[in-house]
Amino acid sequence: MKIFKVLFFILGYSLFGCMDSGQKKPILQPPALRAVENDLKIDTQEPETILLDKDVSIRNYFRWMDSVVAVHNTNHTYQLDEYILVHHNPWIIDTLAHTDYYYLMERGIFNEDPQALLALRKGQEIKVPDSLQTINIKQRLLNTYLDINIPAFRLRIIENGKPVYKFPIRVGQNGKRYLAMANREVDMRTKPGVGTIIRVNKNPVFINPKDNHKYQSTRRDDGKVTKLPAIPWLEPAINGQSLGQLIHPTTNLETLEKAYSNGCIGLREADAWVVYYYAPLGTKVLIRYDLTGKNEKGEAVEFKNIYPGFENRSIRKEALEAALKAVDGKPIPVCDCHL
């Protein structure tokens, strides 16, 4: 067993707002499966673990992860990334999800600074996947996409054609508004279409697009004020365009299952951690406007038409499969199943 000693660094990532006006990076596509296999040489060394010799706060978590991955990739014949390491240790996602403000408050714990909470604790061990396990995790992520149905206020994570998670969301308001960030009147409705995740922002700046006001704290539904969480924001390009409708956490659960935002797709903090680890760069994203579906009992339901006129923008299963394949040339099965 090999034990890595890891160093702490100060976080230093690019900052972007909800409607990011910075320089855009090119759309990145996931590699073909054969490329994944060719890039890896079979490494049958004894399984390794990383023993934590210090606590790691959420504030330092991403820099810590980057340093661990860099050490591994320097010393091994196959390459890891943060997503692979965490999927091999799914308890890390659970730990991060349970730092959710409202989860803690339900247990009588008030925390004013989400970034000061511990992501990892001294003495914990993280298992390092071998090369074959790494291939398997990469295959799973390549066959995963996000399915968002606007009028259902739901985001599903689909893995190998099956839903593995289903989360409530908020979507854009039905109307137009002048936004100082865009310097024009903006249609705030969340737009349907097919695309990919083109950017992951690990340290976003919180800016009110209405007046460009930057803020460092948030008032929760219970009236308490806390600092802001450090949960990554995801930017999809839909139908080949970046529309500014990011996927990110909201600190106000009362806004979920409502048309409330300026176009972004909001999740509770716990759910945003899960979505982040299932949606690396290149992950396919489907945003639908389907007024019919099924509930948890499998019963047919009809959703409220929150954007009159959008009902004709629904995508049928056959067209959806073709659209997803057109994103990067690799088909993904589309199921009719519902959580």
Q: Catalytic residues, which ones?
A: 248, 264
- Rounded distance, CA 219 to CA 331, Å? 43
Pairing, β 184-187 against β 225-227: unpaired
Return d(Cα 282, Cα 276) in angstroms, integer.
Answer: 12
21: region left, alpha or beta (phi > 0 left; psi from -120 to 50 alpha): alpha
How many C-beta atoms surround the C-beta of residue 20 within 10 A?
Answer: 21
Q: Please choose, from the candidates 38, 52, 65, 54, the residue with its C-alpha nearest in 3D space to the C-alpha of residue 200.
A: 65
* Residue at 196: amino acid letter: T
Q: Which two tokens stand for residue 184?
A: 């024009």
Q: How far apart are CA 19 and CA 268, in angstroms?
A: 19
For residue 314, CA distances in Å to 41, 194, 244 come to: 44, 11, 21
Q: How far is CA 41 from CA 130, 218, 223, in A?
A: 10, 48, 54
